[in-house]
């Protein structure tokens, strides 16, 4: 009797510490889908981030699967959907494995050694939570379908019947999760993390990838993968693009993969003689340059979304097509982001035409004296005023006054950084990337700011000084700036 009481107490203690009863998870899933604050413990444990990551991945996967069934779009749109689906599936499975690792570590503290005859569950707790996430999506969308009056009464009734079945299935599955966790906490059941090893996403294991990526006679293709992909959106500015590409020619980091998404409607940037000349120079130096004609134009956020979908390297440098960078800049950015482990590091653009325009009232700078940490910055908050440091040549004046050099580089707090930002690709994707583009009209601005704010809230971000990035100071290609993404989508920032 005493042993049974001890086991029950251990089970209750585990539930109390984990706060992982199925009811919490179901409410959390439904809350995120409804666009409201999902209930969480006051001090959520580490596994909640993986529950959220898994659910957000499944939600994005649902959207991509729907889009992949369209028949009214070009084939390249379906190809992009398929690539997004592969990436999201990987994120989903990675989150399940991480979740199981966290839960097993907690269970081991309660029951270091399960009973010798403990039942082995072939389905892990993480896998059940993944299935609960998918059921939440089915229930959410089936409920919407059951309310579509324009589809007719019969359709609504069929969907209502299916909805009832899905709700019952979720109740059964939720009870199975509670039972597994309870039995595991008593030592009478056990599970282990099952590794998916998705071979089709691994260039070294998928023969369709490694046979084509490393031809026997292609020595360039046999080189080690690039650490950084430089992603450049451009539109009808071939001369400016050529200058930007030239500044990448002698980067101290070594070879780069450079991806250009061209939305020029008058002519192809790749066809211009000045761009062709620079591309030949870059190729001679070992850089790889890819051009993609990406039309029709659907806004800057979609343009960046497309570029991110082409990325392969662990770090991506979003670089505007009118920026000049110093030869050591990419290496300095990469060193900083690796040391800090944050979501992004940016080099604010300096406009040297303002070298004589001194604005001391805009030159306040807040240095990071310790590690870069997550920060929540919202439009018009006190931290929002940090953007003034990036106006005109303010940053140039500050770095000159302080005698800062690349060898004496400092990191500082930012509201955002425009024009030259290095992201940890996985962290950018985990924050949603630029998938919000569908929620904006084609004419908008601030899409880069919105993405940075989301990454900064999760993983932190900073600027480096001295900057090493200079603006060509051309006229903007976005004259209409009525729709500012951080303000229009503010509720998404506040909900995180």
Structure tokens at 115: 């009973």
pLDDT of residue 12: 45
**What token pair was written down for 66?**
């729907």
Q: Is residue 287 part of a domain?
A: yes
- Partnered with residue 232 across adjacent β-strands are 260
* pLDDT score for 21: 86
The phi-psi region of residue 81 (left if phi > 0; otherwise alpha if psi is between -120 and 50; otherwise beta) is alpha
Count of domains for the chain: 2
Do residues 365 and 436 share a domain? yes
Query: What's the pLDDT tens digit per position in 191-201?
Result: 998 887 777 66
Asked if residue 492 has pLDDT above 90, the reply is no
In this structure, are 66 and 117 located in the same domain? yes
Q: Indicate if 190 and 231 belong to the same structural domain.
A: no
Query: Where is average pLDDT lowest: 11-15, 249-253, 321-325?
Result: 11-15
Question: So what's the pLDDT on residue 379?
Answer: 95
Q: What is the mean pLDDT of residues 48-67?
A: 88
CA dist 376 and 455 (Å) reads 9
- 358 in Cβ contact with 397 (< 8 Å): yes
Say whether both 381 and 259 belong to one domain: yes
**Same-domain check for residues 180 and 264:** no
Question: What does the angle CA 194 – CA 198 – CA 202 come to, to the nearest 5 degrees?
Answer: 140
- Higher pLDDT pick, 70 / 353: 353
281 located within any domain: yes
For residues 153 and 9, state if they share a domain: yes
pLDDT reported for residue 41: 63
Range 470-488 average pLDDT: 86
Q: Do 55 and 22 share a structural domain? A: yes
What does each C-alpha distance from 182 to 40, 49, 128, 329 come to in angstroms?
Answer: 20, 22, 14, 54
Instruction: Say if residue 53's pLDDT is above 90.
Output: no
CA atoms within 13 A on the CB side of 371: 11
Cα distance between residue 475 and residue 322, in whole Å = 10
| Contact between 88 and 61 (Cβ < 8 Å) | yes
Of 183, 199, 215, the residue at which a domain comes to its end is 199
Domain that holds residue 194: 2-199
Q: Over the stretch 356-397, which tens digit does the pLDDT of each residue have?
A: 999 999 999 999 988 999 999 999 999 999 999 999 999 999
Label residue 350 by pLDDT band (50, 70, 90): very high
Q: Over range 395-417, report the average pLDDT.
A: 95
Render pLDDT for 259-284 as a digit per residue (tens, 0 to 9). 999 998 777 899 899 999 999 999 99
The pLDDT, as a whole number, for residue 482 is 84
Note whether 143 and 265 are same-domain residues.
Answer: no
What is the percent of the chain with per-residue pLDDT over 90, rounded to a whole number? Answer: 64
Task: State the Cα–Cα distance between residues 275 and 173, nearest whole angstrom.
Answer: 58
Position 208 in a domain: no
Q: Within a domain: residue 153?
A: yes
Indicate whether 213 belongs to any domain.
no
Residues 293 and 171 in one domain: no
User: Within a 10 A sphere around the Cβ of 495, how many other Cβ atoms?
Assistant: 12
What digits encode the pLDDT tens for the residues 416-455?
999 999 999 999 999 999 999 999 999 999 999 999 999 9
3-state SS of 1-25 is CHHHHHHHHHHHHHHHHHCCCHHHH
pLDDT recorded at residue 480: 75
Nearest to 430 by CA among 50, 81, 53, 48: 53
pLDDT at 247: 97
Q: Which CATH number goes with the domain that contains 441? A: 3.90.550.10
Compute φ and ψ for 211, nearest 5 degrees. -70, -30
List Cα–Cα distances, 141 to 27, 33, 62, 127, 147, in angstroms: 16, 10, 10, 21, 10
Say if residues 105 and 125 touch (Cβ distance below 8 Å).
no
Strand partners for 423: 316, 344
Instruction: Please tell me the pTM assigned to this model.
Output: 0.58
Q: Is residue 352 part of a domain?
A: yes
Residue 273, token pair as written in the block: 């003689």
Determine, yes or no, domain membership for 206: no
- The span from the CA of 212 to the CA of 208, in Å, is 7
**CA-based diameter of the chain, in Å?**
86
Say yes or no: 155 and 242 in one domain.
no
Is pLDDT of 86 > 60?
Answer: yes
Does residue 57 sit in the same domain as residue 189?
yes
In terms of domains, do 149 and 236 share one?
no
Neighbour tally for 165: CB within 10 Å: 11
């Amino acid at each position: 009797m005493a042993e049974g009481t001890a086991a029950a107490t251990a089970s209750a203690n585990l539930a109390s510490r984990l706060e992982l009863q199925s009811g919490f998870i179901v409410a959390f899933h439904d809350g995120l889908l409804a666009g409201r604050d999902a209930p969480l413990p006051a001090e959520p444990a580490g596994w909640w981030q993986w529950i959220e990551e898994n659910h957000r991945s499944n939600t994005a996967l649902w959207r991509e699967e729907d889009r992949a069934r369209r028949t009214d779009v070009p084939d390249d749109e379906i190809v992009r959907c398929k690539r997004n689906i592969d990436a999201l599936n990987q994120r989903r499975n990675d989150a399940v494995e991480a979740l199981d690792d966290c839960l097993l570590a907690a269970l081991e503290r309660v029951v270091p050694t399960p009973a010798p005859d403990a039942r082995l569950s072939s389905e892990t707790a993480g896998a059940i939570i993944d299935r609960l996430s998918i059921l939440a999506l089915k229930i959410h969308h089936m409920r919407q379908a059951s309310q579509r009056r324009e589809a007719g009464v019969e359709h609504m009734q069929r969907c209502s019947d299916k909805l009832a079945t899905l709700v019952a299935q979720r109740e059964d599955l939720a009870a199975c999760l509670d039972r597994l966790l309870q039995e595991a906490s008593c030592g009478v059941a056990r599970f282990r993390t099952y590794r998916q090893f998705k071979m089709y996403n691994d260039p070294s294991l998928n023969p369709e990838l490694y046979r084509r990526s490393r031809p026997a006679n292609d020595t360039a293709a046999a080189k080690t993968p690039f650490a950084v992909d430089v992603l450049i959106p451009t539109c009808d500015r071939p001369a400016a693009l050529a200058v930007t590409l030239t500044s990448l020619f002698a980067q101290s980091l070594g070879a780069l993969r450079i991806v250009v998404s061209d939305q020029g409607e008058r002519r192809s940037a790749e066809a211009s003689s000045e761009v062709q000349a620079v591309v030949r120079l870059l190729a001679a130096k070992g850089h790889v340059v890819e051009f993609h004609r990406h039309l029709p134009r659907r806004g800057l956020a979609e343009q960046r979304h497309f570029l991110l979908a082409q990325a392969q390297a662990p770090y991506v440098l979003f670089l505007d097509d009118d920026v000049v960078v110093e030869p050591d800049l990419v290496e300095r950015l990469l060193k900083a982001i690796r040391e800090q482990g944050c979501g992004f590091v940016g080099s604010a653009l300096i406009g040297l035409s303002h070298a004589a325009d001194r604005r001391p009232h805009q030159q306040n700078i807040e240095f990071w004296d310790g590690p870069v940490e997550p920060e929540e910055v919202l439009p018009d908050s006190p931290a929002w005023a940090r953007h003034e440091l990036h106006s005109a040549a303010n940053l140039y004046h500050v770095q000159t006054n302080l005698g800062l050099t690349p060898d004496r580089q400092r990191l500082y707090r930012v509201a955002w950084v425009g024009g030259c930002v290095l992201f940890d690709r996985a962290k950018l994707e985990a924050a949603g990337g630029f998938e919000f583009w569908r929620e904006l009209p084609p004419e908008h601005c601030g899409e880069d700011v919105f993405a940075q704010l989301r990454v900064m809230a999760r993983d932190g971000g900073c600027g480096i000084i001295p900057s090493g990035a200079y603006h060509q100071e051309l006229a903007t290609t976005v004259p209409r700036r009525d729709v500012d993404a951080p303000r229009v989508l503010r509720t998404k920032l506040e909900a995180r």
